[in-house]
Amino acid sequence: MAKPLYWKKAKTHLSKKDKILRKLIVKYKGSLVSRDDAYYSLLKSIVGQQISVAAANSVWKKLEKKANKIKPLKISKLSKRQLSSCGLSRQKIEYIKIITKKFIDKSISVRKLKQLSDEDAIKYLTTIKGVGKWTAEMFLFFNQLRPNIFPVQDIGLLRAISIHYKTKYPPNSSQLNYFRNKWSPYCTVATWYLWRSIDPVPVKY
């Protein structure tokens, strides 16, 4: 698994900018890592839509067991009934089928994605049915290890900000813009530590 090259530099930068993050950085060890498997990351992001981390992990384990391995050809052989038995909704099953087909026929270009800015990469990914902004951000965050992803639709991030910075839940747009500006160009790293502060198990996609 790959670790971001910028992680150490980001920790130093954020520790100087934010005393609350400095405490979290000291407290929680480890770092973001990538499997470097685009299909795996995108599929796990779909599974994780609008449910808790614990619920998503439960569904994912069932899916891994059913498919034997999370690969496009393996998943393509599972029926809708088999996917449903893993705890997937009808809508998520449809999205998984669409994404799996796109990886099999190679109509998703990971190479092209790497050349795009964060904003353009999100636009590219959200043309795929079932991939909204949050799902696209999770992919850029966990698969491509982009340093400045700030997923403002993420419930865990919003909850952590409210807890540590004593804001109302959810924080309003001006508060979120303040934090985005404060933590740039390492919003990814700030988000990872805030997630860790409310969930002892590091989030992985």
Average pLDDT, the chain: 94
pTM: 0.91
How many percent of the chain have pLDDT more than 90? 89
Helical spans, DSSP H, in the chain: 7-17, 19-27, 38-47, 53-67, 72-76, 80-84, 90-104, 110-115, 118-125, 133-142, 155-165, 173-183, 187-198
Domains 7-33+149-198 and 38-130 share a fold: no
Protein fold of 38-130: Endonuclease III; domain 1 (1.10.340)
Task: Report the chain's terminal Cα–Cα distance, integer Å.
Answer: 12
Q: Where are the domains of the chain?
A: 7-33+149-198, 38-130
**Closest to 47 in 3D by CA, of 92, 81, 94:** 92
pLDDT tens per residue, range 136-148: 999 999 999 999 9
Q: In percent, how much of the chain has pLDDT > 70? A: 100
pLDDT value at 202 more than 80: no
pLDDT in tens, 103-122: 999 999 888 999 999 999 99
CB 145, CB 32: distance < 8 Å: yes
> How many CB atoms are closer than 10 A to CB 120?
12
**Is residue 112 a contact partner of residue 124, using CB atoms and an 8 Å limit?**
yes
7-33+149-198 is a CATH 1.10.1670.40 domain: yes
